[in-house]
Structure 1
Amino acid sequence: MSNPPHGGVLKDLIARDAPIRDQLYTESETLKDIILTERQLCDLELIISGGFSPLEGFLTEKDYDGVVENLRLADGTLFPIPITLDVSKEEIETSQIKPGARITLRDFRDDVPLAILTVEDVYKPDKQKEAKHVFRGDPEHPAIRYLFNTAKEYYVGGKLQAINRLNHYDYVGLRNTPAELRSQFTKLGWSKVVAFQTRNPMHRAHRELTVRAARSRQANVLIHPVVGLTKPGDIDHFTRVRVYQAILPRYPNGLAYLSLLPLAMRMAGDREAVWHAIIRKNHGVTHFIVGRDHAGPGKNSKGVDFYGPYDAQTLVEKYRDELGIEVVPFQQMTYLPDKDEYAPKDTVPEGVKTLDISGTELRKRLKLGLPIPEWFSYPEVVKVLRESHPPRTQQGFTIFLTGYHNSGKDSVGRALQVTLNQQAGRSVSLLLGETVRAELSSELGFTREDRHKNIQRIAFVASELTRSGAAVIAAPIAPYESSRQVARETVEKAGGNFFLVHVATPLEHAEKTDRKGVYKRARNGEIKGFTGVDDPYEVPTKPDLTVDLTQISVRTAVHQIILHLEAEGFFGN
């Protein structure tokens, strides 16, 4: 018999009675609405499916205060993470959000009404307290950055009535609600289930530790990866799910089952581990593997871990009786080449030869196309990873040239385009500043805001081309450091490689050799907001490469860029 849900009753809010669902849908079309963000959608999905039981909606202020300060809802039930619906002052006014109001919650992707929220209260949270108590206060913590830079200033609390389940178009057969997963366990005859939480690909060591955990508890394994929002920079869930599907046949027949969890992680360490345990309990699980630095975001800029290595295990153990789920400590596995097997590190006698490959080493091998041994990962898993992470010789990149008008960046860009076309292997696109202005940003002026918008457009185009394996050369003036940083982040977020080249030809030379007389017109006041005349150029603080065409030729500048790309592994032998 599967584990009872947290709080005793599974709060499955999905309306299965057609007349009630139709009635709610009709009402939803008459109400003011809130368009949910990606993170809010993840939270909503797990509220209405019962994954966050005993929650029946977003936290009221009383519940929020209790969770933040004491890890408990107002009624005393253990709950460690505040599940909140953040809104702006403008949304409150536009949608008339106030106690007693009924508001339709819609999916930003297709405008479908998902639920009706009956507002109980609207409150302004103490974000400093939330940051300190829930995430330990380090401003570099990704959840704290989200809290202050992305989350809106007010929270809305109230209960939900679900209208529709969220539409997913990927891996539909692997997405199970708690009720569906419980039913599946019953169908399979599973009475004990060990859940394995992961947001990373799985390799042989993960398979070994989960099999050992299951056998030691005479249980089965639920591979329950997070496919909502994880840590920035994590491998995309499409790749990871293909890895999980590839490794599943490596388990003894009937031992393991794969189901996806649409969770928006907060990377809250020990508190998150307790939260994960509650979620798995709601899905019918009896045992839960908690690893070293479970749900931690790693290290801050000073190289210090945000959480202690065993904080998560300690806190889950503290609440073990209330949680009603047995914690299985994560065993760090290591490979013994002389025996061709894996064993827990702490059981290996001193002097016995062991082999390990770190995450950093694995990423390096993927990037450079180096071999990945079969003792570390199965060939079918490596095949999936190589398909999604081709070596540098097959990856796209963006060369972003910045400098004054007439600095020679356009000349460098054109010459670089020819050189890259000559080398073949990638399509090459050239985005010159004047061309982009004419074709993509013709309605924009030269205010700081319009300049930033122009760079954003260039970065978006570059990111899409780079993602598809192309070489992109962009050569705008890009006078502002913040805009250049956004361009880098846009390309890298899309999985691309970005190199900033500062064409550092001095202003005096650029102006002196300006045969078109543009600087002269700017000096005479005929052109307003001209970079270097009456608008600033912020010198890049950390360019990947700097070239000055008063010191070297265009040919040499291009050669230096090619050498830099070769050193980074973008050209094969």
Structure 2
Amino acid sequence: MMDRILAAHGGELVNLVVDEARAQMLRDLSRTLPSLTLNARQLSDLELLLNGAFSPLRGFMTNADYESVLDRMQLQNGLLWPLPICLDVSEAEARSLDAGQSVALRDVEGFMLAVLHVEDIWPIDKLREAEIIYGTTDTAHPGVDALFHGTGTHYVGGTVEGVQLPLHFAFKRLRHTPHEMRALFKKLGWRRIVGFQTRNPVHRAQFEMTLRAMDRAKANLLLHPVARRAMPGDIDYYTRIRCYQAVSRYYPPNMMLLSLLPLAMRLAGPREALLHALIRKNYGCTHFIVGRDHASPGVTPDGRRFYDPEAAVQTALEHQEALGIEIVPFEEEMVYVYEEDAYMPAREVPPQSTIKTMSLEEFHRRLREGKRVPEWFSFPEVIEELQRGYPPRHKQGFTIFCTGLSGAGKSTIARILYARLLEMGGRPVTLLDGDVVRRNLSSELGFSKEHRDINVRRIGFVASEITKNRGIAICAPIAPYAATRRQIRSLIEKYGGFVEVYVATPLEVCESRDRKGLYAKARAGLIKGFTGIDDPYEPPSAPEVLIDTTELTPDEAAQEVLLYLERAGYIK
């Protein structure tokens, strides 16, 4: 079988970037073409299509290939392919397109990267896709959440002609196309290469795993981390890359290469493990490491797993021949043995030994809370980089997001918190009150559901920028819709803390405080779509702080928030 794997490894790569003459023709043509502006996830897919990492795909999947992948994990031509690579669009965009048409694909700045020759347009059955691809329709799975809340209503399929790869401005020397990587392996004389995918920093357990894989495969190592964040709790891109550079000095000289992969992970567990292997085959690897929980979103806050920890390994081994790359499995957890001062698989631990383990979830919690990370867990250089990027909570930025009905007391609580936090000093504090933001940032907006969502998202974006720069943002919009609040939390938690304060004052109390007369007008039908009257308020399911101001003074309510901030370590 190994001969067949090596033969497949040498297969021809697709390169969808056209020559300069054709590129100029496409640029000229684009002036008359409709355009689609791609988001970050779509740009990642486009880049891997253009550079050949998704070989043999020659564009975004048509409906026939999509259905075949869902039903059989195969393209129409019978080749193994585990996940859909599709371009999603909104319903309005879908209505404006026709099969046989060409469309310019642009980045957010309007730069044209490619032309899509449309062959198919079809509505997405999101429930069916979630069940087949992720094995669940639970939005606690980040891939399902992205499908349901971050994906358009239709897919557009067809071949792609590339004008230029998406631009990257950081860590340029660590970015390679499959053609470049294969040429580099050839130049170095590397014939056996084992690939390792990760979205986390490499700690001592992962380092030992890669060394053992190199020994098993008698191969050099391609450390090939995903450049993009896969889920909100992941370490940010720049910090992670500095961690990889720090750990690279621990590998034997001239036996490891570091390269960044611009993949948008789906976290689809066993199916995604197969895609990772196919990508590494296209990059020139002969072997690929698959370990426990590969491509899994991990454990949910309530302790649930979406995939069996060993399912990805078993699935990859079952499809090894069709993948065309040899799988190096690691089914067992790597544990630290105190007496040996070393990591090893659990089955190799000598009797009566002292074992220490720490999950990545626990590590991330310690990091974000500013708690000590044991020396046995990681390398000092890696911990130093992580602590630079993620200081203790009392030095991090955070957002206090007060939500509740009009008249609940949000704005008053926010103003008191603003004054108290400025009084404490140490970090800049910004108050983003709903009415003030409407006057200064959203004056052109009305009060439709769409416009209210836009206003709240603008508040969330500004708060995320303040949090990123280690300030404190205090927000006090009504923010009635749970999905919008969830999106804002996801955005802000990339950079710091998010403290949701649900001011759960009952409707009848809010109406009795109706200083502006808004409830009375809504009851009389003079205001339409008023939250709590003829438009719903969706209460938070798990806010950090819950306050009912019916019997509390504003100072007492604000004190509850400050006590939480102190308990959680945000203030000292």
Mark yes or no: TM-score above 0.5.
yes
Deviations 1:377-436, CA, capped at 9 Å, x for gaps: 111111111122111111222233345656554443333222212211111222334433
8 A Cα contact 1:196 1:224, kept in partner: yes
* Cross-structure match for 1:132: 131
Q: How does 1:396-407 map to 2 (within 5 A)?
A: 396-402=397-403
Deviations 1:299-322, CA, capped at 9 Å, x for gaps: 468744222222222222122223
* Cross-structure match for 2:288: 288
User: What is the alpha-carbon distance in structure 2 between the residues aligned to residue 48 and residue 404 of structure 1?
Assistant: 49
* Cross-structure match for 1:19: 21
Select which of 7, 12, 22 maps to 1:9: 12
Return the offset for 1:68.
Answer: 1.8
8 A Cα contact 1:404 1:510, kept in partner: no
Structure 1 counterpart of 2:117, one-letter code: T
Question: CA separation of 1:178/1:557 partners in 2, compared to 1, >3 Å: closer, same or farther?
Answer: same
Return the offset for 1:236.
Answer: 2.1
8 A Cα contact 1:401 1:503, kept in partner: no
1:424 to 2:428 alignment: no
User: What is the alpha-carbon distance in structure 1 between the residues aligned to residue 10 and residue 66 of structure 2?
Assistant: 17
8 A Cα contact 1:51 1:282, kept in partner: yes
Structure 1 counterpart of 2:116, one-letter code: L
1:348 to 2:349 alignment: yes
* Cross-structure match for 1:221: 221
User: What is the alpha-carbon distance in structure 2 between the residues aligned to residue 56 and residue 510 of structure 1?
Assistant: 60
User: What is the alpha-carbon distance in structure 2 between the residues aligned to residue 541 and residue 31 of structure 1?
Assistant: 46
The structure with the largest alpha-carbon Rg is 1
Return the offset for 1:24.
Answer: 3.3
User: What is the alpha-carbon distance in structure 1 between the residues aligned to residue 319 and residue 537 of structure 2?
Assistant: 57
Q: What TM-score, normalized to structure 2?
A: 0.89
* Cross-structure match for 2:324: 324
Structure 2 counterpart of 1:85, one-letter code: L
SS state at 1:500 partner: strand
Return the offset for 1:171.
Answer: 1.4
User: What is the alpha-carbon distance in structure 1 between the residues aligned to residue 125 and residue 436 of structure 2?
Assistant: 48
Question: CA separation of 1:539/1:189 partners in 2, compared to 1, >3 Å: closer, same or farther?
Answer: closer
Deviations 1:33-59, CA, capped at 9 Å, x for gaps: 332232222122111211111112222
Structure 1 counterpart of 2:271, one-letter code: R
* Cross-structure match for 1:362: 363
Instruction: Structure 2: state its 5+ residue gaps.
Output: none
* Cross-structure match for 1:160: 160
Report which stretch shifted further, 448-457 or 253-262: 448-457
8 A Cα contact 2:229 2:237, kept in partner: no
User: What is the alpha-carbon distance in structure 2 between the residues aligned to residue 509 and residue 282 of structure 1?
Assistant: 61
Return the offset for 1:550.
Answer: 5.4
- Kindly tell me the number of residue pairs found equivalent between the two proteins: 566
* Cross-structure match for 2:414: 413
8 A Cα contact 1:202 1:243, kept in partner: yes
8 A Cα contact 2:127 2:137, kept in partner: no
Deviations 1:46-82, CA, capped at 9 Å, x for gaps: 1121111111222223322322222222222222222
* Cross-structure match for 2:476: 475
8 A Cα contact 1:409 1:503, kept in partner: no
Return the offset for 1:220.
Answer: 0.6
8 A Cα contact 2:9 2:325, kept in partner: no
8 A Cα contact 1:408 1:503, kept in partner: no
Structure 2 counterpart of 1:122, one-letter code: I
Q: How does 1:147-186 map to 2 (within 5 A)?
A: 147-186=147-186
SS state at 1:156 partner: strand
Deviations 1:107-151, CA, capped at 9 Å, x for gaps: 2x2222222233333344555543333332444343334334433
SS state at 2:500 partner: strand
Return the offset for 1:215.
Answer: 2.2
Question: CA separation of 1:479/1:181 partners in 2, compared to 1, >3 Å: closer, same or farther?
Answer: closer
Deviations 1:506-540, CA, capped at 9 Å, x for gaps: 7558746x7x6747985996974676788776666
8 A Cα contact 1:3 1:285, kept in partner: no
8 A Cα contact 1:335 1:355, kept in partner: yes
Question: CA separation of 1:33/1:445 partners in 2, compared to 1, >3 Å: closer, same or farther?
Answer: closer
* Cross-structure match for 1:65: 67
Q: How does 1:153-552 map to 2 (within 5 A)?
A: 153-228=153-228, 230-299=230-299, 303-330=303-330, 332-402=333-403, 408-478=409-479, 484-485=485-486, 487-502=488-503, 504=505, 507-508=508-509, 511=512, 518=517, 522=521, 528=527, 542-549=542-549, 551-552=551-552
* Cross-structure match for 1:38: 40
Question: CA separation of 1:18/1:4 partners in 2, compared to 1, >3 Å: closer, same or farther?
Answer: farther
Structure 2 counterpart of 1:10, one-letter code: L
* Cross-structure match for 1:116: 115
- Say what the alpha-carbon RMSD is for the aligned residues: 3.2
8 A Cα contact 2:501 2:544, kept in partner: yes
User: What is the alpha-carbon distance in structure 1 between the residues aligned to residue 217 and residue 334 of structure 2?
Assistant: 18
SS state at 1:306 partner: coil
8 A Cα contact 2:272 2:295, kept in partner: yes
* Cross-structure match for 1:553: 553
8 A Cα contact 1:4 1:282, kept in partner: no
Structure 1 counterpart of 2:369, one-letter code: L
Structure 1 counterpart of 2:505, one-letter code: A
Report which stretch shifted further, 3-12 or 356-365: 3-12
Structure 2 counterpart of 1:132, one-letter code: E
SS state at 2:493 partner: helix
User: What is the alpha-carbon distance in structure 1 between the residues aligned to residue 171 and residue 510 of structure 2?
Assistant: 58
User: What is the alpha-carbon distance in structure 1 between the residues aligned to residue 458 and residue 315 of structure 2?
Assistant: 46
Question: CA separation of 1:362/1:142 partners in 2, compared to 1, >3 Å: closer, same or farther?
Answer: closer
Percent identity, please.
43
8 A Cα contact 2:236 2:494, kept in partner: no
Structure 1 counterpart of 2:44, one-letter code: C
8 A Cα contact 1:6 1:323, kept in partner: no
8 A Cα contact 2:9 2:285, kept in partner: no
Structure 2 counterpart of 1:425, one-letter code: G
Return the offset for 1:98.
Answer: 1.1
Return the offset for 1:504.
Answer: 2.9
User: What is the alpha-carbon distance in structure 1 between the residues aligned to residue 316 and residue 523 of structure 2?
Assistant: 71
Return the offset for 1:172.
Answer: 1.2
Instruction: Structure 1: state its 5+ residue gaps.
Output: none
8 A Cα contact 1:404 1:507, kept in partner: no
Select which of 31, 48, 51 maps to 1:49: 51
Question: CA separation of 1:340/1:260 partners in 2, compared to 1, >3 Å: closer, same or farther?
Answer: same
Question: CA separation of 1:122/1:495 partners in 2, compared to 1, >3 Å: closer, same or farther?
Answer: same
Structure 2 counterpart of 1:424, one-letter code: G
SS state at 1:242 partner: helix
User: What is the alpha-carbon distance in structure 2 between the residues aligned to residue 129 and residue 526 of structure 1?
Assistant: 41
Q: What TM-score, normalized to structure 1?
A: 0.89
Report which stretch shifted further, 46-55 or 30-39: 30-39
Return the offset for 1:190.
Answer: 0.8
Structure 1 counterpart of 2:444, one-letter code: E
8 A Cα contact 2:499 2:545, kept in partner: no
Report which stretch shifted further, 527-536 or 118-127: 527-536
8 A Cα contact 1:504 1:546, kept in partner: no
User: What is the alpha-carbon distance in structure 2 between the residues aligned to residue 489 and residue 118 of structure 1?
Assistant: 34
SS state at 1:473 partner: strand
